[in-house]
Structure 1
Amino acid sequence: MFLLSAEERAIVDLVRDFVDREVKPVVRELEHDNVYPEDLIKQMAAMGMFGLTIPEPYGEVRVSTVCYAMVTEELARGWMSLAGVIGGHTVVAKLILLYGTEEQRQRYLPRMATGELRAAMALTEPGGGSDLQALRTVARLDGDEYVVNGSKTWITNARRSGLVALLCKTDPTATPPHAGISVLLAEKGTGFEVSRDLPKLGYKGVESCELSFDDYRVPADAVLGGVPGRGFAQMMRGLEIGRIQVAGRAVGVGRAAFEDSLRYAQERESFGVQIWKHQSISNYLADMATKLTAARLMLHDSAERLDRGERCDLEAGMAKLFASETAMQIALDALRIHGGYGYSTEFDIERYFRDAPLMIVGEGTNEIQRNVITRQLISRQQSQS
């Protein structure tokens, strides 16, 4: 299970070296100053990271989802924000690849693969949270154009993306509501603007913004796949790889916190011995390693299922839930192991502690995720009986 090709292993190794050589020496200063890592993003684009899930003839190198999950883990081990840059971009690429017309694939995917064109997905609305069927952003058909009005929030890459996969209602009267939801491939233009940047506890350096659509016009053929009313099901499928990606980020953050703690526990002494020899610290380290290994196995299992073309919404959801909760617990235990130093901005532990909560609330809160998992369990059991 989870075997990579020689080329994929080389890619993961290359990203690991990039993180150790280029990211770790500068991340603390960039993160504390909340500076967009332009140079690091350019290097990521040159390495082909924006096109890892885009196959020929649109891209150059398409890797397995397992490989993509490993790349995500390595990036997040260095700085979770870097993994976030390619997260939404990858979901949009997957949506266009699976559901786009050939014209849409030709128009966007080659430039997305190189990072020349960056993409974002716009789902969440102010006051709407995880209830995507309660959308208030509406696109009304006017001749051969849709006129969009509404707002979206928590949009990663909002300022630097040239393309936004916009989830909106093209038929507000449809019953059930999801039957009137579409994905519009919205390019920046008149009536489409970033209204503000959101201040955040963590996830620094990369922008998270609110978008406002005020009589924003897009051609009717901007509907993903050319047929309106299919956007909800399309986005739910796209979120499978989105949740795999978030789980990969969580594993990366948890791994970074664990590795720092394991190292520190061998360097720090108290009462005449290295602190790992104290049972309380030893128990923390054992639990960290065990949960981290379990989270990674769940992550790779869901990624492998996606590669086999199997349904993996349940598995991706469970991986995201477990990995994110694990990352948060590991970050907290890492702070305890480091004591006062864990609370200091001169160590990386406090960054992990601020970054970990994003995976708990991002890509569907874990509270909603538990509901989705239970519904899927019931549905699968009923289908088998």
Structure 2
Amino acid sequence: MKHPYLSEDHEIFRKSLRKFLEKEAVPYYEQWEEDRIIPRSFWRKMGEQGFLCPDLGEEYGGSEVDWGFAVIINEELERVGSGFIGFGLHSDITVPYISSYGNEEQKQRWLPKCTTGEIITAIAMTEPGTGSDLANIKTTAILDGDHYILNGQKTFITNGIHSDLVIVACKTDPNAVPKHKGVSLVVVERDTPGFTRGRKLKKLGLHCQDTAELIFEDCRVPKENLLGEEGKGFKYLMKKLQQERLVVAICAQTASEDMLADTIEYVKSREAFGKSVSQFQNTQFKIAEMATEIKMGRVFLDQLIANHMAGEQVVTEVSMAKWRLTETARKISIECMQLHGGYGYMEEYKIARRYRDVPVASIYAGTNEIMKKIIAKNIGL
């Protein structure tokens, strides 16, 4: 049966990327986990090979290919480790704001270096007191002559340490009614006066992914760095969250597939009571249940990706995929660790890392509780 969005060209690309990662990422990943950061040199290598922002137009350094190539990049990075989420955030979440809402001068100034890895991007929405409720953010950007004066604090920012370009959700009109009409997006560049980084946050999992606090104190941002129109920021965020949540679903599905494959290999090789663990009925039933759930998730996800690539509005279905596939991955991490026995709790086994990396996917890009609210609203409740 024809795949809904992948062709032979995609599979050739996947083989090339996998070979690259086996050489440039797999041998070093454990060290990066210990270092609590992925080196910028790896970002540059990704850029040199065309593995950053491949769907951008050639005039901006991209390959101008369909989004299926981006899906493959997210999948193959996830198979190595969940700590690579910053690459998907850069290529498929942050950069699309610039390519969609930026003017030509902004695109020419920033996008070519985004494709080479010279510029690493981040998007700053979450604040210490505001997560899912973006209309109530407190960070302000007040126009003063030729500059916006930016004040506020952001937290849990992916790529927060490495970022050279940060899209900041802020209030350009703090008194707007309704509140969301005061939200705008302002782009802050590295070394802008008044912009500082707080702590590199210590997390339960995703150790090699740099997550940080960002602080803006009378930060003077040129008004030319306004992205799109004033007051349209909330609308832009809502529109782009569809792809962000889809990326999270893709990574969760891939993690589930990888955990199952590792566990099948382990139970076949591990012996207990004179036979392999895979021969016990309980093991077979657990594996069968997980394989079925994972397969059903993949079929739903692949069709959803195809619909998204076709330009369809699939907010409801994306919300379904985001919550269900992340919950599935969390459940599978527990089941697979149990099937590994005591070894599953040892750091040298990949399942231990998955067990701590997977749960946060149900929180970021909108909590799963928010996903259920969206679904309920969109089906008429």
Superposed pair shares fold, TM > 0.5: yes
User: Paired residues, what number?
Assistant: 378
Instruction: Name the structure 1 match of 2:202.
Output: 199
Contact conserved, 2:135 with 2:179, CA < 8 A, in 1? yes
Q: Which amino acid aligns with 1:154?
A: F
1:377 correspondence with 2:376: no
Matches within 5 A, 1:64-79: 64-79=66-81
Gaps of 5+ in 1: 380-385
CA deviations on 1:97-119 (whole Å, 9 max, x unpaired) are: 11211222222111112221111
Deviation at 1:17, TM superposition (A): 2.4
CA deviations on 1:174-208 (whole Å, 9 max, x unpaired) are: 11111111111111211011011111011111210
* d(CA) in 2 for partners of 1:143, 1:115: 33
Instruction: Name the structure 2 match of 1:222.
Output: 225
**Residue in structure 2 matching 1:343, options 345, 358, 365:** 345
CA deviations on 1:46-85 (whole Å, 9 max, x unpaired) are: 2222222312321331332333223211111101112333
Matches within 5 A, 1:141-220: 141-188=143-190, 189-220=192-223
Contact conserved, 1:78 with 1:256, CA < 8 A, in 2? no
Contact conserved, 2:55 with 2:62, CA < 8 A, in 1? no
Matches within 5 A, 1:1-385: 1-188=3-190, 189-225=192-228, 227-378=229-380
Deviation at 1:348, TM superposition (A): 1.1
CA 62–319 in structure 1, closer or farther in 2 if over 3 Å, else same:
farther
Instruction: Name the structure 2 match of 1:383.
Output: none
CA 30–187 in structure 1, closer or farther in 2 if over 3 Å, else same:
closer
Give 3-state SS (helix, strand or coil) of 1:378's partner.
Answer: coil
* d(CA) in 1 for partners of 2:126, 2:318: 20
Deviation at 1:93, TM superposition (A): 1.3
CA deviations on 1:319-360 (whole Å, 9 max, x unpaired) are: 211221111111111100100000011211110001101211
RMSD of aligned alpha carbons? 1.8
Deviation at 1:159, TM superposition (A): 1.8
Contact conserved, 2:5 with 2:302, CA < 8 A, in 1? no
Q: Which amino acid aligns with 2:79?
A: R
Contact conserved, 2:166 with 2:188, CA < 8 A, in 1? yes
Q: Which amino acid aligns with 2:128?
A: P
Q: Which amino acid aligns with 2:344?
A: G
Between 1:81-90 and 1:46-55, the stretch displaced more is: 81-90
* d(CA) in 1 for partners of 2:70, 2:308: 12
Deviation at 1:313, TM superposition (A): 1.8
Q: Which amino acid aligns with 1:201?
A: L
